[in-house]
Chain A
Amino acid sequence: MPLSKPIRQFVSQTETLLDTEISLLRNPEADPNGMLVDVYTYDIEKNMIIFPAHYLGLLKDFIIARHCVHLLIKGAAAKKSRYLVCSFTEDSMYRGIHQIYIDALKDEAKKEKKLPVHKLIQMLNILYTNFNDDINELPWNPITNASVYHRMPQIRKTQLYYLMKEGKMDMDEMMEYEDVIPRRYFVLNKSMFYARDQYLAKTLPADQLMPVVNIPQMKKFNHLEVKEMLTTRWTHTSWYQSKIFGDTMLEIMEKYLQKIDWNAEPGLDYFHDIYRLGVQMTNHFISYMSMKDWFVWEPPKHLREAQARKGEYENKALKKIFGDLFEESPAGSPGGKL
């Protein structure tokens, strides 16, 4: 499918600025958020933006625009200094899993129905990985969204629909582990998304993001402001307690992002500054969530290698925590037992 004019220009501008090529691929199995497979993260020669096959028009354009902004940030970091991500080592993973275990024990002590040990072990691994994924993704979400909003007014209605959809997906994430995860982590995870929604509600003025009244999902929000749309959900859900932590996270987000002039001339220096602010904001989040020694800033290759050795690291961490009680799974794969 063709691209609308502003998006086509933006893709071409991104390619010129980074002196690179971007392939756009449709895939029926693609994640609803689309996917950026880029030369700064993977050992490949060409960047790819993959989007779901049924995104035909502006939904596809929006996904492409957002990934282009992210690509510019990564590319500027790689060209101007170093592009780093939150990775983990054997030791940092042990510290993270150990901390989650201690907190889980505190929670378990208050529970009538105790969690089976194999589920507890599974939860420790899942939760650590989940926070690693989220801390690598979430801080860049409000940045890319705000940038698209200011630079491409033509796709604001699409953006509104997408934010509603994405916010809902993020709220639903981890719901199946609600009774398993220590409360503190559940709330912290939701708070990050709460802060993201609140920031976007404040940053993206309502007047140009009014719902498209003919769209069934938007009808119930007719005449409401975006802020109300994004906040209503949080106040009417059981995750209202996320608000306390979420408000602080929102303050952190604003502290860094208010320094960005969204309409400034988009050059490599500009995107490099945004990258640095994103890293500072991520560090502040990590520190606020008391996860300072859980992750290490390293090049993407380090993270890929760590992910490949995740099972081995998990087994070693669990062996350290449970001693001889823990029986390692074969070949260092995850899923050992007590």
Chain B
Amino acid sequence: MTTNEVIGLLRKGRAYASRTKYKEAITYYEKVLALDPDNPEAWYLRAVVFIETGRNTEALADCEQALRLNQNYAAAWSKKGHALYNLERYNDALFACTRALALNGNDAAAWYIKGVCLDELGRNDEAQEAFGKSLELEIILDMEAEKKKAGT
């Protein structure tokens, strides 16, 4: 196994996932995991696909595996929050999103999930604050996407 081989497989998996070809994406991520089970990115990326396909319990397990390998993996904390929200474990989801945001304050999705969790827990003012932060970041992302589109 070489690093280049792993990078190539992950890239292929991501390309399939972006075209919603989830089955194929999982095949590539699992090839990486067979070669290198300590690769946190492969666990994380498989979790992303699991969430997209509604397999929230498996997504949660993969996020936890990714975090065992790298406890400062912000994206994995964020995705864990997402899986926990889908499993209606709002307090745990809130904790995961807060950890994600401590590591990366510019994660629009983590702010948004934090907002919906707070809303579910009846903490409306805090929810509005999180939504506000998420919106700011989302608008910046949107403006960047528009700029990129105009440039192509």
Contact = CB atoms under 8 A, between A and B. Distances in A.
A59 B142 contact: yes
A59 B145 CA distance: 13
A54 B131 contact: no
Interface string B112-131: 11011001100000001001
Contact of B140 (A52, A58, A216): A216
A55 B135 contact: no
Nearest to A62: B135
Contacts of B36: none
14 contacts: A2-B85, A2-B113, A4-B116, A4-B131, A5-B119, A57-B108, A57-B109, A57-B135, A59-B142, A161-B139, A214-B136, A215-B139, A215-B140, A217-B143
Interface of B: 18, 82, 85-86, 108-109, 111-113, 115-116, 119-120, 128, 131-132, 134-136, 138-143, 145-146
Contact of A56 (B86, B109, B128): B109
Interface string A1-45: 111110000000000000000000000100010000000000000
A173 B109 CA distance: 31
B82 A59 contact: no
Contacts of A154: 128, 131
B120 A54 contact: no
A216 B143 contact: yes
A228 B143 CA distance: 22
Nearest to B134: A57
Contacts of B135: 57-59, 157-158, 161, 212
Contacts of A59: 135, 138-139, 142
Nearest to A4: B116
Nearest to B145: A54
Nearest to B143: A217
Nearest to B133: A214
Given A4-B131, A5-B120, A57 B112 contact: yes
Nearest to B128: A154
Interface of A: 1-5, 28, 32, 52, 54-59, 154, 157-158, 161, 165, 212, 214-217
Given A56-B138, A59-B138, A216-B143, A157 B132 contact: yes
A163 to B, nearest CB: 13
A58 B112 contact: yes
A55 B139 CA distance: 9
A190 B136 CA distance: 30
Nearest to B86: A2
A307 to B, nearest CB: 26
Counting from the closest, the 9 A-B pairs by CB-CB distance are A57-B112, A57-B134, A56-B109, A58-B135, A5-B119, A215-B139, A2-B116, A214-B136, A54-B145
Nearest to B112: A57
A5 B117 CA distance: 10
A294 B21 CA distance: 45
Contacts of B132: 157, 212
Given A1-B109, A4-B115, A59-B142, 5 more contacts: A5-B120, A54-B145, A58-B131, A58-B138, A165-B146
A33 to B, nearest CB: 13
Contacts of B138: 55-59
Given A2-B113, A214-B136, A57 B131 contact: yes
